[in-house]
Amino acid sequence: MIIRDAKLTDVESILKLWKELMLVHGNLDPIFEISEDGEEKFRSFLISNINATVEKVVKVAVVDGSTVGYMMGIIKQNPPVFKMTQFGEIMDACVTANFRRQHIGERIFAEMKQWFSQKGITRLDVNAAAKNPVSMKFWQKMGFQPYLNHMYSYLP
């Protein structure tokens, strides 16, 4: 297995993984349902992230020429009231179903951590869906802990 930076030629295979990720979440909670042009919008977002190598990172795991997992991250500015001026965020993480529990996610994350560290980042955040026990367990194993409860309420 190779873990490497994503290239523009990876876009369609990452898109497949993103759809898998969104399907998992859409089945858990309707808040994650994607719009009709969601896929097109994500494609453009992904392409701009692959090209923006200063503050964005996209890593893929490739096994026998197939892209089986990816993660995407960003460097964010903290509101100016805080001592820490910037932090990293993992935006997306997916390993395709047949390849899970083989430490591929862990290995992609190791490369992500290295990328952020090289940029001088000392804190990483991740948004893990409250109804997704797998991602909660995975991120906890990767050393994350909650510090916010992100809540929502629909208005009548």
Binding site for ligand COA (CB under 6 A): 21, 24, 93-95, 100-106, 128, 132, 134-135, 137-138, 141
Tokens 């805080």 correspond to what residue?
Answer: 82
Containing 61, the helix (H) or strand (E) segment is: strand 56-63
Closest approach, Cβ 80 to ligand COA, in A, equals 28
Closest approach, Cβ 102 to ligand COA, in A, equals 5
Closest approach, Cβ 100 to ligand COA, in A, equals 3
- The CA distance from 59 to 6, in Å, is 5
In this structure, the number of other CB atoms found within 10 A of the CB of residue 28 comes to: 16
- The CA distance from 27 to 54, in Å, is 34
- Of 60 and 95, CB closest to ligand COA: 95
- Of 33 and 106, CB closest to ligand COA: 106
Closest approach, Cβ 92 to ligand COA, in A, equals 7
Chain centroid offset of residue 93 CA: 4
> What amino acid is encoded at 71 in this protein?
M
- Of 50 and 93, CB closest to ligand COA: 93
Closest approach, Cβ 87 to ligand COA, in A, equals 17
- Of 75 and 129, CB closest to ligand COA: 129
Using the 8-state DSSP alphabet, how is residue 96 labeled? -
- Of 116 and 138, CB closest to ligand COA: 138
- Give the residue at shortest CB distance from ligand COA: 105
Q: In sequence order, what are the residues at sequence separation of 6 or more whose Cβ sits closer than 8 angstroms to the Cβ of residue 90? A: 71, 72, 73, 109, 112, 124, 125, 126
